[in-house]
Structure 1
């Protein structure tokens, strides 16, 4: 119940202030700088500023820091691979935490991610969801602690 109340308070706080798209919401959070840089490098800013709606499983800067620097630098320079990785974090539609059901969910990239809940914790593939329902004008962000990697 405590988690629900915290999530509701966060939803209300972000929702009331929500006058921004996914990209602007991520920028203003201050913990998604690498994600915002990657979105720009992949040429996806206009898409994620579009009408959507989108559900984004957004890795934090700390999640990107788990990737060895040389591998991350190479990924940021490979637009096709970067686009594949980033679109693997996006689901069409606005899916709030209360509406998430365990199972396979198809991403914008075309592959599916596995969503599961265990001991009150939600995971997307191998990433833990650490915060949910950050509202934006064109969708919602769910924060994850690991960068999801599609099969390349």
Structure 2
């Protein structure tokens, strides 16, 4: 009876741990904690080292650690690597800080928007797109294709949301596979 009880206790603990972990996905090989803010979680993602370096260079760490709430479309390292040669290096130069801030804030929206909320707005619109403003002032558009949500910049470039609804203490991150470039 003691073995059955211990097995039941262990199984229950495993289910609780799995359920708690299932609430927020792993990103870049690291657990994302709802109790941590956007920056505290992003620095642990191996897939977001370029984004973190850019946020630091732009002086946006304190902003993205504030109460928010913010919705961040977070490009992975491969998205930055896909930009034309030299783009990231150029943006990271101190003399280009204003341009870097513009690019990064084009990935941030005020509020805490789940992928389901964004998708519902897109599906309900007459043209199939939900248009909204980024913190940069640029217009972003969301569209649902099949089971995927795509976020478009003003030039029509699309980033697919690859990991949605990574909840943070000050908002939510949606991982995207492309850099959204403001005009």
Moved more, 22-31 or 108-117: 22-31
Give the distance between the partners of 1:86 and 1:10, measured in 2 at CA: 29
Distance 1:132 1:11, change over 3 A: farther
Answer whether contact 1:75 1:81 (CA < 8 A) is retained. yes
Distance 1:26 1:114, change over 3 A: same
Q: Alpha-carbon deviation of 1:11?
A: 5.7
Distance 1:9 1:114, change over 3 A: farther
- Structure with bigger gyration radius: 2
Give the distance between the partners of 2:113 and 2:66, measured in 1 at CA: 17
- Indicate the RMSD between aligned Cα atoms, in angstroms: 1.9
**Gaps in structure 1 of 5+ consecutive residues:** 1-7
Which residue in the other structure is 2:101 paired with?
A: 83
Residue 61 in structure 1 maps to residue 77 in structure 2: yes
Structure with the greater relative contact order (CA < 8 A, sep ≥ 6): 1 or 2? 1
Give the distance between the partners of 1:44 and 1:112, measured in 2 at CA: 20
Moved more, 95-104 or 136-145: 95-104
- Choose from 142, 149, 169 the match for 1:122: 149
TM-score after normalising by structure 1: 0.88
Secondary structure of 2:112's partner?
coil
Distance 1:16 1:145, change over 3 A: closer
Residue 35 in structure 1 maps to residue 59 in structure 2: no
Residues 46-103 of structure 1 deviation map (CA, whole Å, 9 limit, x = unaligned): 0000000000000001111101341211111110000000000000010011211221
Which residue in the other structure is 1:19 paired with?
A: 35
Residue 149 in structure 1 maps to residue 181 in structure 2: yes
